[in-house]
């Protein structure tokens, strides 16, 4: 049994909450990086089942990232002994990690881990984690994050969570899972569609659009308590929520004054301000990470293209020019690149633009890509696509090399949103 981190919200008009069919996301690696760093993860010492489970989580995380190649460690790494560097060198390992799991007096576990640079024969760190049995996987993810950061210089995202929507017959579920697809829990179940989930910058809340009122309404849902409130329910449609970097406001799309236009509301639903005006459609707003700009999709130039305005308003600047359909702008966490969906000869594909050079690369060869979402370290982009007529999630590295497929058996998965880093 896992600790219930989320309270399932069964609202009036929503049913089937109790029948939580367990359909976990499975991750399949479909492409890996060109130069993967060879790393050995030794078996952890301690109670066999626990220690093995821990090491397998660490290995699976590192392998899935596409940046590492796992090599045999050839035995456990004792807590104090010097690792067998010469042997590891022969095995081709550039780094080695290992450790132990012991039971402390209160029944919790104490996990110690040591990481070494093999060629330099130098210690890279030795963190200790105190955790319960139910936190075993989480501890494995934290160890993998530690190794990833020490070896790549970038923060790892194995401890982060993802949100997505699963559609099965007559039922929509807003799910939260660990980044590896495990530990999934439903935050909301409904007979009506749920779209556009967006994580608050602190990772505690999700804003989303639910159609349970026979029209789109924007909610803010607190994940720890399961409580939610209406953030935008004006006359007409309410959609496309995006959090300001400080988590205090939401950019939303409202039609209360006619066509779909951009507004900002406070996260509690108070104080609505219009931030742009066009005669056509403005939608899909996203703040730049520095809070300076709001990127959005608009048909003001005759076809849907990506524009930006300064967050305080002002003139719109057009960002995309190639092709007649460029939508769903998503800024990388460093603000330097823009992921979006481009239509190329009838195919909708994930594209990535370097904002400084405006150079654009198509990252996929699929045809129905939607809803890109950056990992919080910017390395991977999670998106929805279709394989064999079924909705699946896929992830691709920003260089296009590492590829993963995340699917659920016998259901459509869509609308992914990668949560922020947990510190």
Partner 1 sequence: MRAHLISLSALTLLLAACGSQPPAPEQNPAGVESRTPGPVRVATPPVVTKVQPADKFDPGSIAALKDPRSPLSKRSIHFDYDSYVVKDEFQALLTAHGKFLAANPKMKMLIQGNADERGSREYNLALGQKRANAVKKALALLGAKEEQVEAVSLGEEKPACTESTEECWAKNRRGDMLYSGEF
Q: Which of 269, 301, 333, 400 binds partner 1 (CB under 8 A)?
A: 269
* Tokens standing for residue 281: 């459609």
Exactly one of 174, 217, 250, 408 binds partner 1 (CB under 8 A); which one?
217
**176 to 206, 308, 317, 416: CA distances (angstroms):** 10, 30, 35, 10
Q: Which residues, numbered 164-193, are part of the site for partner 1 (CB under 8 A)? A: 183-186, 191-193
Among residues 43, 63, 173, 212, which is the contact residue for partner 1, using CB under 8 A? 212
Q: Check residue 204 for interaction with partner 1 (CB under 8 A).
A: no
Contact set for partner 1, span 52-91 (CB under 8 A):
none
Residue (73 or 136) nearer to partner 1, CB: 136
Is residue 327 within the footprint of partner 1 (CB under 8 A)? yes
Instruction: Name the strands in the sheet holding 205-210, side by side, starting at the edge strand that comes first in the sequence.
Output: 194-199, 205-210, 217-222, 228-232
Instruction: Kindly tell me which of 156 and 304 has the beta carbon lying closer to partner 1.
Output: 304
Single out the residue of 19, 111, 15, 9 nearest to residue 57, CA to CA: 111
Stretch that binds partner 1, among 73-81, 310-318, 324-332, 403-411 (CB under 8 A): 324-332
Whichever of 235 and 358 has its CB closer to partner 1, that residue is 235
Q: How far is the CB of 331 from partner 1 (least distance, A)?
A: 16
Rg of the chain, C-alpha, whole Å: 23
Q: Which of residues 135-154 bind partner 1 (CB under 8 A)?
A: none
**Judged by CB under 8 A, which of 79, 325, 366, 405 binds partner 1?**
325
Taking the complex as a whole, how short is the minimal distance between the CB of residue 219 and partner 1, in angstroms?
A: 8
**Count of positions on this chain that bind partner 1 (CB under 8 A):** 74
CB 160, CB 413: distance < 8 Å: no
- Looking at the Cβ atoms of 5 and 358, the one nearer to partner 1 is 5
* 256: contact with partner 1 by CB under 8 A: yes
Per-position x/- string for 107-136, each x denoting binding to partner 1 as judged by CB under 8 A, each - no binding: ------------------------------
Binding mask 385-414 for partner 1 (x = CB under 8 A): ----x-------------------------
User: Would you put residue 121 in left (φ > 0), alpha (ψ -120 to 50) or beta?
Assistant: left
- Residues 59, 171, 343, 403: which binds partner 1 (CB under 8 A)? 343
CA distance 411 to 213: 24
The string of DSSP codes covering 371-407 is EEEE-TTSSEEEEEEEETTEEEEEEEETTS--EEEEE
Piece of the chain touching partner 1 by CB under 8 A; list 91-99, 102-110, 152-160, 233-241: 233-241
CB 184, min distance to partner 1, A: 8
| Angle between helical axes of 48-64 and 136-152 (0-180°, round to 10) | 40
Place of tokens 């707003």: 285
- The reply to whether 297 sits near partner 1 by the rule CB under 8 A is yes
Work out whether 11 is an interface residue with partner 1 (CB under 8 A): yes
Query: Rounded to an integer, what distance in angstroms lies between the CA atom of residue 316 and that of residue 287?
Result: 14
Strand order in the sheet with 293-298: 282-287, 293-298, 305-310, 313-318
Query: Taking the CB of residue 342, how many other CB atoms lie within 10 A of it?
Result: 23
């Amino acid at each position: 049994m896992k600790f219930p981190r989320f309270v399932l919200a069964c609202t009036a008009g929503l049913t089937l909450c109790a029948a939580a069919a367990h359909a976990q996301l499975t991750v399949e690696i479909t492409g890996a990086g060109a130069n993967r760093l060879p790393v050995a993860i030794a078996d952890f010492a301690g109670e066999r089942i626990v220690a093995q489970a821990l090491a397998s989580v660490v290995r699976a995380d590192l392998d899935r990232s596409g940046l590492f190649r796992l090599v045999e460690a050839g035995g456990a790494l004792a807590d104090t002994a010097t690792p067998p560097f010469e042997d590891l060198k022969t095995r081709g390992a550039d780094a080695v990690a290992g450790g132990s799991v012991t039971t402390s007096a209160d029944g919790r576990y104490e996990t110690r881990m040591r990481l070494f640079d093999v060629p330099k024969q130098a210690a890279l760190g030795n963190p200790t984690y105190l955790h319960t049995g139910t936190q075993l996987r989480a501890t494995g993810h934290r160890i993998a994050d530690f190794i990833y950061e020490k070896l790549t210089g970038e923060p790892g995202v194995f401890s982060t969570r993802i949100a997505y929507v699963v559609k099965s017959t007559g039922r929509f579920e807003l799910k939260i899972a660990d980044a590896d697809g495990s530990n999934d829990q439903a935050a909301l179940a409904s007979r009506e569609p749920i779209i556009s989930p967006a994580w608050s910058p602190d990772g505690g809340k999700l804003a989303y659009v639910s159609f349970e009122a026979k029209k789109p309404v924007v909610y803010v849902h607190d994940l720890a308590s399961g409580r939610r409130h209406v953030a935008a329910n004006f006359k007409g449609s309410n959609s496309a929520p995006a959090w300001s970097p400080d988590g205090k406001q939401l950019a939303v799309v409202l039609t209360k004054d006619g066509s779909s236009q951009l507004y900002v509301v406070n996260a509690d639903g108070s104080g609505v301000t219009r931030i742009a005006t066009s005669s056509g459609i403005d939608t899909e707003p996203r703040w730049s990470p520095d809070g300076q700009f709001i990127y959005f999709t608009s048909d003001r130039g005759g076809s849907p293209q990506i524009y930006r305005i300064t967050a305080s308003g002002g003139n719109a600047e057009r960002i995309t020019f190639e092709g007649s359909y460029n939508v769903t702008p998503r800024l990388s966490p460093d603000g330097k690149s823009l992921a979006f969906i481009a239509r190329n000869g009838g195919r909708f594909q994930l594209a990535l633009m370097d904002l400084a050079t405006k150079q654009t690369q198509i990252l996929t060869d699929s045809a129905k890509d939607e809803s890109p979402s950056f990992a919080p370290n910017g390395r991977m982009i999670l998106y929805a696509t279709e394989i064999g007529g079924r909705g699946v999630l896929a992830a691709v590295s920003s260089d296009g090399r590492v590829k993963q497929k995340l699917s659920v058996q016998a259901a459509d998965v869509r609308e992914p949103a990668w949560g922020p880093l947990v510190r």
